[in-house]
């Protein structure tokens, strides 16, 4: 309350102080404040009124609250809330009721009160008490300064949005009233909350009770803003109205992804991109997500525009013929190759302890991430290519080395002591760092365990792509110093026994049809644009059957730049058979034994 009162203008503080001093009791004080501001139950208890009176005396220093990360707190500046509400007015939105599920300092509430003259009621929820006071006093200030402004009934609840009963609220609303759900829900993921040991999450029971949210429970990571938007659609999309909420682009994508399952009746879904760096100082891609409730059609797609140029649609993403795509305009041309990959895409090795597990070679000696020189047996040490190594079409030399302690997940590591005593000593000396690995996958597994490991990791030839980078090119990763190269867990790959089949797979994956398909499926603003799920949609068998041998040869020459990657027609037919059968690694060795990977003069 302190900081909220300190922000009041002298005029409003004067009006408030005088009114409160005249009030006989706190019920009368609340009456006066309802008259002044429209807010019902301004003070929940008498001591709050007394505190307010005391604070109105001197000027108070503002003490801002810290440690609010778990609340995904990015207060929207008034310049943006005003611009958004003006835009909604231009678009002929005339709400009777505004609902702000996490109203914070109340900038959206103030903008709504000043922009929507026909408002009858405003309902807001916020968990953080100081913000509740700030919002209340900001509204009071607004009406003291603008006595002629329309004054709807205002209900501001200090509550956890996940516990607030929005269904009860819907039953209180007049069936004819149009609703606008407005705001900017928290920007934080459940994984971040986990690392903060925060419980600012929806209760599981709620999750199950709400339709359409099973998608979220199945997802490893989700943003709580996503959950709140789905809660709002669940509660209000069967009434007349709209939703207009700021959110990360990833949140909007997930909401649209969940639409068919959730069966919300919405239309005109749009994501208007904003500059989050400029407005929030946050380097994240975010937009204003808007949609209309009770639409005559079920929207399954969302138009993307910029907030500054809403008339120019950059692309449309969402569901087309039961497939989720990033670009609905180009997708029909590429849909033939959207199927099931005959090759199994794998994620690279995960160890979560690069200081100990990743090595570099300096003057022929192994160096770990702590800068220590190591004497280790070379057998369990392999080349390691990371996303940054996959910038070139062929990874001739991986940038690092990695210790491989297992051949498959969960394999016993006790044998290391006998088979590789130097390595075993090194790992046991550094066991404390390995034990600190946070991920729960390491619990109840043998010491020094790694993940993303299996027979496939030891295929000598790999074709790989970075999950993190925007580039859609695939790199060929041949063995290094006679051993297969491992990829790290930011990369995805398919493995091959022989160079010709790897070279053919590599050429086809870099061919125009696959590249165009990826352009229609991939969201380049995602944290991980390329995922196993997307790569498993590449129907390489169809791409292969639509490609002629001469076209393949010219593709290889174009990509090979300086490398002799000759494949024979026999290799090509063998590859066609392999992708038709659906497994690239069972080919008989003799078929692919001829080609060597060598630089040409
Ligand atoms: C991104 S900020 C936006 C605030 C406000 N809507 C705005 O646009 O300025 C998110 C708000 O959600 C609030 N919040 C976080 N978790 C909450 C919860 N469980 N229940 C209610 N409010 C919550 C935070 O305190 C913060 O004010």
pTM equals: 0.84
Domains of the chain from N-terminus onward = 2-56 (no CATH), 69-320 (3.40.50.150), 346-594 (no CATH)
Ligand 1 neighbour 403 (Cβ under 6 A): no
Confidence check: pLDDT of 6 > 70: yes
Instruction: Please tell me the predicted confidence (pLDDT) of residue 457.
Output: 97
Rounded to whole angstroms, the Cα distance separating 20 from 556 reads 83
Mean pLDDT, rounded, for 338-363: 95
Helix (H, G, I), strand (E, B) or coil at 392: coil
Residue 601 pLDDT = 32
Q: What is the pLDDT of residue 42?
A: 86
3-state secondary structure of 225: helix
* Structure confidence at residue 11 (pLDDT): 76
451-457 mean pLDDT: 96
C-alpha dihedral over 512, 514, 518, 521, to 10 degrees? 120
Q: How far apart are CA 597 and CA 230, in angstroms?
A: 53
Does residue 126 surpass a pLDDT of 90? yes
* pLDDT, average across residues 68-84: 92
Chain-centre distance for alpha carbon 290: 19
pLDDT at 562: 62
- Which pLDDT score is estimated for 443? 84
CB of 103 sitting under 6 A from ligand 1:
yes
**Which of the two residues, 552 and 49, has the higher pLDDT score?**
552
The secondary structure of residue 390, as a DSSP letter, is G
pLDDT of residue 297: 73
Cβ of 202 below 6 Å from ligand 1? no
Burial category of 564 from C-beta neighbours within 10 Å (exposed 0-12, middle 13-18, buried 19 and up): middle
Residue given tokens 């059957």 in the structure block: 545
pLDDT of residue 563: 67
Q: What is the pLDDT of residue 61?
A: 37
* CB neighbours of residue 173 within 10 Å: 19
Mean pLDDT of the chain: 88
| Cβ contacts of 54 within 8 Å, gap of 6 or more | none
Average pLDDT over residues 336-342: 96
**Residues 513-547: pLDDT tens digits?**
999 999 999 999 998 999 999 999 999 999 999 99
How much is the pLDDT for 481?
93
Indicate if the pLDDT at residue 507 is higher than 90. yes
| The two three-digit tokens of residue 86, written as one number | 């003006």
pLDDT over 70 (residue 595):
no
Rounded CA-CA distance 11/131 in Å is: 21
Q: Is 74 in the pocket of ligand 1 (CB under 6 A)?
A: yes
- Which atom of ligand 1 lies nearest, measured to the CA of 125? 21
State whether the beta carbon of 131 lies less than 6 angstroms from ligand 1.
yes
How many angstroms separate the alpha carbon of residue 280 from the centre of ligand 1?
A: 14
186 lines ligand 1 (CB under 6 A): yes
Contacts of 426 (CB under 8 A, 6+ apart): 356, 374, 376
pLDDT digits (tens, 9 = 90+) for 13-41: 877 887 787 777 778 888 888 888 889 88
- Give, using CA atoms, the residue closest to atom 13 of ligand 1: 102
Place of tokens 């000396």: 429
| Cβ of 227 below 6 Å from ligand 1 | no
* HEC letters along 449-516: CCECCCHHHHCCEEEEEECCCCCCCCEEECCECCECCEEECCEEEEEECCHHHHHHHHHHHCCHHHHH
Q: Compute, in angstroms, the gap from residue 102 CA to the centroid of ligand 1.
A: 4
- Predicted confidence (pLDDT) at residue 576 exceeds the cutoff of 90: yes
Q: Is the CB of 101 under 6 A from ligand 1?
A: no
The yes-or-no verdict on residue 585 having pLDDT over 80 is no
Q: What is the pLDDT of residue 313?
A: 97
37: tokens are 């501001």
Provide φ and ψ at 250, rounded to 5°. Answer: -65, -35
More confident residue, 189 or 61: 189
Q: What percent of the chain has pLDDT over 70?
A: 91
Q: Give the atom of ligand 1 at the shortest distance from the alpha carbon of 200.
A: 19
- Contact 75 CB / ligand 1 (< 6 Å): yes
CA of 106 to the centre of ligand 1 (A): 10
Distance 183 CA to ligand 1 centre (A): 9
What is d(CA 380, CA 421) in angstroms, rounded to the nearest whole number? Answer: 12
The structure tokens listed for 551 are: 């076209």
Residue 236 CA to ligand 1 centre (angstroms): 19
Q: What is the pLDDT of residue 29?
A: 82
Q: Looking at ligand 1, which atom is closest to the CA of residue 71? A: 15
State in Å: Cα 109 to ligand 1 middle: 13
**Ligand 1 within 6 A of CB of 111:** no
The protein residue with its alpha carbon nearest to ligand 1, atom 19, reads 160
| pLDDT of 394 higher than 80 | yes
Q: How far apart are the CA of 14 and the centre of ligand 1, in A?
A: 30
CB of 104 closer than 6 angstroms to any ligand 1 atom:
yes
Question: Which of the listed residues 71, 106, 124 should we mutate to test ligand 1's pocket, taking the one with most ligand atoms within 8 A of CB?
Answer: 71
Cα–Cα distances (Å) from 129 to 102, 104, 186, 243, 415, in that order, read 12, 9, 16, 25, 58
**43 neighbors 26 (Cβ within 8 angstroms):** yes
Helices (H), 223-353: 224-236, 249-262, 276-280, 331-334
| DSSP state, residue 407 | S
Residues with Cβ within 8 Å of residue 206, at least 6 apart in sequence: 162
Q: How far away, in angstroms, is 225 Cα from ligand 1 center?
A: 9
Long-range pairs of 409-417 with CB within 8 A, sequence gap ≥ 24: 409/449, 409/451, 409/453, 409/454, 410/445, 410/446, 410/449, 411/446, 412/446, 413/446, 413/447, 413/448, 413/449, 414/446, 416/380, 416/448
- For 122, residues 6+ apart whose C-beta sits below 8 A from its C-beta are 38, 97, 98, 99, 100, 109, 112, 113, 152, 153, 154, 155
Indicate whether 287 pLDDT > 70: yes
Answer yes or no: is the C-beta of 126 below 6 A from any ligand 1 atom.
Answer: yes
Confidence at residue 10, expressed as pLDDT on a 0 to 100 scale: 75
Contact assessment for residue 370 and residue 354, using Cβ atoms and an 8 Å cutoff: no
Confirm or reject: Cβ of 134 under 6 Å from ligand 1.
no
How many angstroms is it from 518 CA to the middle of ligand 1? 36
Range from 35-44, 209-218, 443-452 carrying the lowest mean pLDDT: 209-218
Mean pLDDT score, 349-353: 94
Question: Considering only CA atoms, which residue is closest to atom 10 of ligand 1?
Answer: 186
Q: What is the pLDDT of residues 228-273, one digit of tens each?
A: 999 999 999 999 999 999 999 999 999 999 888 888 889 999 999 9
Report percent pLDDT > 90 for the chain: 71
Higher pLDDT, 321 or 216: 321
- Tell me the HSE value of 398 on the side-chain side, using a 13 A CA sphere: 28
pLDDT at 586 (0 to 100): 38
Residue with tokens 């609250």: 65
Phi, psi (deg, nearest 5) at residue 194: -60, -45
Q: Is the pLDDT of residue 63 over 60?
A: no
């Amino acid at each position: 309350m302190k900081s909220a009162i300190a922000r009041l203008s002298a005029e409003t503080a004067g009006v408030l102080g005088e009114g409160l001093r005249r009030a006989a009791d706190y019920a009368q004080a609340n009456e006066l404040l309802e008259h002044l501001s429209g807010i019902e139950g301004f003070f929940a208890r008498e001591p709050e009124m007394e505190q307010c009176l005391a604070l109105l005396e001197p000027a108070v220093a503002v003490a801002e609250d810290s440690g609010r990360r778990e609340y995904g707190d990015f207060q929207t500046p008034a310049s943006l809330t005003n611009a958004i509400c003006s835009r909604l007015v231009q678009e002929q939105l005339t709400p009777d009721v505004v609902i702000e599920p996490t109203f914070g300092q109340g900038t959206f509430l103030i903008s709504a009160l000043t922009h929507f003259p026909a408002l009858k009621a405003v309902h807001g929820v916020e968990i953080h008490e100081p913000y509740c006071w700030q919002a209340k006093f900001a509204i009071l200030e607004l009406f003291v300064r603008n006595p002629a402004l329309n004054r709807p009934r205002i209900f501001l609840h200090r509550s956890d949005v996940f516990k607030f009963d929005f269904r009860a609220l819907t039953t209180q609303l007049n069936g004819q009233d149009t609703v606008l759900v407005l705001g900017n829900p928290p920007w934080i993921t459940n994984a971040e909350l986990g690392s903060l040991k925060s419980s600012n999450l929806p209760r599981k029971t709620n999750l199950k009770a709400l339709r359409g949210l099973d998608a979220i429970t199945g997802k490893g990571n989700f943003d709580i803003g996503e959950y709140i938007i789905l809660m709002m659609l669940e509660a209000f999309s069967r009434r007349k109205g709209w939703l207009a909420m700021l959110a990360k682009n990833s949140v909007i994508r997930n909401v649209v992804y969940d639409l068919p399952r959730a069966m919300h009746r919405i239309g005109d879904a749009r994501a208007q991109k904003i500059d989050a760096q400029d407005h929030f100082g946050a380097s994240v891609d975010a937009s204003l997500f808007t949609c209309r409730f009770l639409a005559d059609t079920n929207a399954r797609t969302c138009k993307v525009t910029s907030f500054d140029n809403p008339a120019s649609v950059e692309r449309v993403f969402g569901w087309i013929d039961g497939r989720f795509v990033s670009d609905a305009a180009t997708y029909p041309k590429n849909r033939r190759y959207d199927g099931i990959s005959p090759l199994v895409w794998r994620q690279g090795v995960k160890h979560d302890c690069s200081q100990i597990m990743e090595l570099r070679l300096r003057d022929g000696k192994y160096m770990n991430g702590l800068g220590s020189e190591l004497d280790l047996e070379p057998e369990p040490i392999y080349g390691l290519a990371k996303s940054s190594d996959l910038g070139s079409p062929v990874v001739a030399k991986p940038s690092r080395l990695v210790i491989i302690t297992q051949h498959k997940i969960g394999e016993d590591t006790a044998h290391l002591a006998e088979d590789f005593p130097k390595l075993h000593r090194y790992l046991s000396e550094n066991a404390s760092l390995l034990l600190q690995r946070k991920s729960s996958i390491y619990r109840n597994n043998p010491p020094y365990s790694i993940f993303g490991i299996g027979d496939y990791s030891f295929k000598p030839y790999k074709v790989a792509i970075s999950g993190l980078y925007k580039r859609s090119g695939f790199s060929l990763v041949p063995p290094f110093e006679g051993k297969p190269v491992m990829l790290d867990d930011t990369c995805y790959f398919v493995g091959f026994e022989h160079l010709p089949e790897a070279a053919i797979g590599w050429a086809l994956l870099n061919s125009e049809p696959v590249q165009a398909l990826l352009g229609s499926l991939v969201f380049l603003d995602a944290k991980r644009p390329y995922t196993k799920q997307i790569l498993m949609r590449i129907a390489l068998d169809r791409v292969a059957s639509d490609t002629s041998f001469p076209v393949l040869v010219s593709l290889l020459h174009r990509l090979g730049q300086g490398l002799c990657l000759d494949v024979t027609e026999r290799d090509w037919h063998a590859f066609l058979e392999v992708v038709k059968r659906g497994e690239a690694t069972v080919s008989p060795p003799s078929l692919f034994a001829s080609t060597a990977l060598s630089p040409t003069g």
